[in-house]
Amino acid sequence: MVDPRVYEVMSKPIVSHLDPFLFEVMAEISAWLKPVFGTANEFTLAVSGTGTAGMEAAVSNFVEPGSKFAVFTNGYFCDRIAEMGRRHGANTVELKAEWGNVYDPDQARDFIKREKPNVVAFVHAETSTGAFNDPGPICEAAREVGAFVIADCVTSLGTMPINLDAVGIDCAYSGTQKGLGAPPGLSPITVSPKAMEWIKNRKSVNPSWYFDFNLLSGYFGTTRRYHHTAPITMFYALREALALLHDEGLEPRLERHRRNQRAFVAGAEAMGLKMRVAAPHRLMALNTPEVPEGIDDLKARKHMLNNYNIEISGGLGSLLGKVFRIGVMGVSSTKENVLLVLETLEEALREQGYKAPASGKAAAEKTYA
Amino acid sequence: MVDPRVYEVMSKPIVSHLDPFLFEVMAEISAWLKPVFGTANEFTLAVSGTGTAGMEAAVSNFVEPGSKFAVFTNGYFCDRIAEMGRRHGANTVELKAEWGNVYDPDQARDFIKREKPNVVAFVHAETSTGAFNDPGPICEAAREVGAFVIADCVTSLGTMPINLDAVGIDCAYSGTQKGLGAPPGLSPITVSPKAMEWIKNRKSVNPSWYFDFNLLSGYFGTTRRYHHTAPITMFYALREALALLHDEGLEPRLERHRRNQRAFVAGAEAMGLKMRVAAPHRLMALNTPEVPEGIDDLKARKHMLNNYNIEISGGLGSLLGKVFRIGVMGVSSTKENVLLVLETLEEALREQGYKAPASGKAAAEKTYA
C-alpha cells in the first residue's frame, strides 16, 4: 500500500528537469536516504528506473570485461545479478546455496579468498525466498582481497538495518515500492567514495550511458549538468515517502517491522505452517511459510484475492508451489494487516480441507500484548 | 503543461506489476500508440525509463560490437546516439551538418551507400535545434544497403506525422513529456517485426538486461513473464494522455500544432526575429528564433520566468546563447499560449533595448482569423 500523502503529491504540477525546486527535492531525498542506508556516501541518489535498473546500474559501473565477479546465488534476484555480470563480459563465478537457505560464514569467506574477485555481489534481503544474507563475513573477506561489494537491498531498505558504512558495503540499491511505500519507478542507490574514485578512472567505458555513475554525478551533483529528463513525479513521491519515514523515525519504523514480523510468524506457526527460512535468517518485511501438503497454492491465493482483495505471492523457481510469499512492509506493516492476512489465509487453506491445529490470528494477537 | 485528467489518474491506487488491470492499461497504450507512430508493429510499448532510456534501448538492441553504425549528427541528441553506439563497440561513422541545418538528400543517400552500415540512426525532430530531418532519403538508401533505421521521435510523437511503416523506419522511440503531455517517466518505443526477428537471433548478447527487447517482449507480450516491476503510475499517466489524444483525434491534434506553430513564426518574424531553421525543415512543437544582436538570452529568459512563470530554453552546444528554444506542444499548444509567449518575449527583449519593428502578438493573432 501507498500512503495517501504520497498519492497526493503525485498529482502536483511538474517542474522542469533543471528547476531549482527539483534539485531541492533531490537534495532532500539524498539526505534522507543516507541514514536509511546507514551511509555518509555523497553519491546517494535515485536512478530513473525501477529496482532492476538500480541492479543494472550497479553491475555496469563496477564490472568490466574480464573482471572477476563473485556472486552469492541463493535466489531469483542473485541469479539475475550473475546474468548481468556475464552480459558485461565478467568472469562470473557463483557460490550457490539452496533457495531459502543462507551461507555458512566460513564457506562464504573461503569462496572469496579462493576466487579473489574484483567485485562481489550478494542479495541482502532475497525477495524470492525471504532469506537475509549476513554481509559481515562477505565484506570482511572482500576487504582482505581488495574486492568491492555490491548489495541488493530492494526488500531491506526501510525495513531492516543496513549499516552500509559500518559493514563495508561499497554499493547498495533498492526500489521505492517495498519498505519505503511509494509506487515503483525509482531506484535509490549509494556508492562509496573509494568506489566512485575507481569508477572515475576505470579503463573500459561503461556500455550504458543512461546508468553511467560519472554522468549521473554530474547531473545530481553540484554541477547539475543535464543528463536526462528525470521522472519528476516519482521524485515527488519518493521525497514524500522518505518524509513519512523521517516523521516516524528510522528506529520506530524498523521496530514496527520487527514486531509485525514476529506476530506473523507466531500466527503462521500456530496454524501449523513451517517457515521456509530458519529463524535467525528471516526478513522483517517478507515471510515465506511453506505450502502444506496437498494444498494448491494458486487456488489459495486466488481465494484471498477474489474474496478479500489481498494479494500474496507464490514461490519462484525451485520454490514454485512450495511457499507463499507474504509481504508485510512499509505502510502495510500493521497489526490489523497481520491479523487479517492470517485469518484469510487460514480460511483459504480450510477451503481445501486443511485443519489448522490452532488459530493463527489468536496466536499473533498474543504477541502484541 | 500536463492536463488535469492526467494528474488525476496519477494519484489512483497502484496495482501489482502482474495485475490483469495493468496489462489492460498496457494493451491500450500499445493500441493507441500505433496510429501516432504510424505503425502496425506488434512490439509497441513503453520502456520503464525516460526518453534517453528509449534511446539506449534502441541502440543496445540494434548495435553489436563491430557493427557499422551510421549516425546523422546535426544536433545535441544525435551526438548522444553516436556516443552510445561507440560505447556498444560499434564502428560509428557520422555525417555531420551544422546545428540547425539539415542534410541535402543526395548527400544523405551517398553517405549511406558509401558506408554500407548495418544500422542507421537519425533524429526525426531535433529538440536542440528545432530542425526536422526528412526520413525519406535516409530510409530509401538504408533499404538499398539492407540497413535497419532508428529514428529519435522524442519531439515529433503526437506533434507531427511520423508514418513509420510507410517511410520504412524500423525502430522509433519518444518520451511522454513532449507532444503527449504526460510527465516524464516512460519512453514509448516501437520495433518492426523484421528487426525483432534479427534481434531475436543476433549473435552477441545485449549487455543491457533491463532494455533487452527479447525479455521485454516476454513481459509486455502474451506470456506476461515477469521482467521488472513497471512504474505503474506512469503507465496510468501515459494511458490517460493517449486517451486525450484519442478523444481529440490525431489529425486535429497535428493540425492544432501546425496552426499554432504558423502563428508563432508569423509573430516572431514580425518582431524582427530570424528563425534559425529554414521554413521547410521546422518542427511543429519547438521553435528556435535567433537571439538578436546585443541581447543576453539568459537575462531575457529569466525575465519571462520570474515575471510570468513562463520557461523557455536556451541553445545547446554550438547554439549556446544564439537561439531561444520555445516549446509549444501537447496541452500547451494553444492560441493563448502563443500570444502570451510572444507578448512576454517582446517585453523581455524591450527591457534590453530591443526595438521590434512590429507587434508579434498582433501578427500572430491575424493568422488565426
Q: Which of A50, A84, A227 sits opposite B229 (nearest CB)?
A: A50
Q: What is the pLDDT along chain B (369 residues), one digit of tens a residue?
A: 999 999 999 999 999 888 889 999 999 999 999 999 999 999 999 999 999 999 999 999 999 999 999 999 999 999 999 999 999 999 999 999 999 999 999 999 999 999 999 999 999 999 999 999 999 999 999 999 999 999 999 999 999 999 999 999 999 999 999 999 999 999 999 999 999 999 999 999 999 999 999 999 998 888 888 899 999 999 999 999 999 999 999 999 999 999 999 999 999 999 999 999 999 999 999 999 999 999 999 999 999 999 999 999 999 989 999 999 999 999 999 999 999 999 999 999 999 999 999 999 999 999 998
Cα torsion angle, A130, A134, A138, A139, sign: positive
- If residue A63 lies in a helix (H) or strand (E), which one and from where to where? none
Chain mean pLDDT for chain A: 96
CB pairs under 8 A between A and B: 142
For an interface test with A, which of B1, B6, B11 has the most A Cβ atoms less than 10 Å from its Cβ? B11
The Cα of B303 is separated from the nearest Cα of chain A by a number of Å equal to 15
**Looking at residue B187, what is its pLDDT?**
98
Q: At the topology level of CATH, where does B4-248 sit? A: Aspartate Aminotransferase; domain 2 (3.40.640)
Smallest CA–CA distance, residue A277 to chain B, in Å, is 24
CA B116 to CA B62: how far, in whole Å?
A: 15
> Residue A368 pLDDT > 90, yes or no?
yes
Runs of H (alpha helix) within chain B: 4-9, 20-37, 51-62, 76-87, 105-115, 135-145, 164-167, 193-201, 213-220, 232-248, 250-270, 297-308, 335-351, 360-367
Helix (H, G, I), strand (E, B) or coil at B187: strand
pLDDT interval class at A151 (50, 70, 90): very high
Of B16, B53, B206, Cβ closest to residue A210: B53
At residue A291, the pLDDT reads 98
Spell out which residues of chain B touch residue A202, defining contact as CB-CB under 8 Å.
Answer: none
Q: Which residues of A touch B11 (CB under 8 A)?
A: 7-8, 10-11
Nearest residue to A329 via CA among A153, A180, A129, A130: A180
**Section A128-136 average pLDDT:** 96
Interface test with A, best of B79, B209, B331 (most A CBs within 10 A): B209
Residues A317-322: contacts with CB under 8 Å, at least 24 apart: A317/A75, A317/A76, A317/A79, A317/A99, A317/A128, A318/A98, A318/A99, A319/A99, A319/A100, A319/A128, A319/A129, A319/A276, A319/A288, A321/A291, A321/A297, A322/A276, A322/A290, A322/A291, A322/A297
Model pLDDT, residue A304: 97
**Domain boundary assignment for chain B:** 4-248, 250-367
Q: What is the mean pLDDT of residues A149-172?
A: 98
CA distance, residue B172 to nearest chain A CA (Å): 18
Residue A308 has pLDDT above 90, yes or no: yes
Interface test with B, best of A78, A155, A174, A208 (most B CBs within 10 A): A208
Contact state of B231 with A206 under an 8 Å Cβ cutoff: no
A304: chain B residues, CB-CB within 8 Å:
none
pLDDT single digits (tens) A39-55: 999 999 999 999 999 99
**DSSP conformation class of B66:** T
Under CATH, what is the fold of the domain B250-367? Aspartate Aminotransferase, domain 1 (3.90.1150)
User: Do residues A63 and A277 make contact, with C-beta atoms less than 8 angstroms apart?
Assistant: no
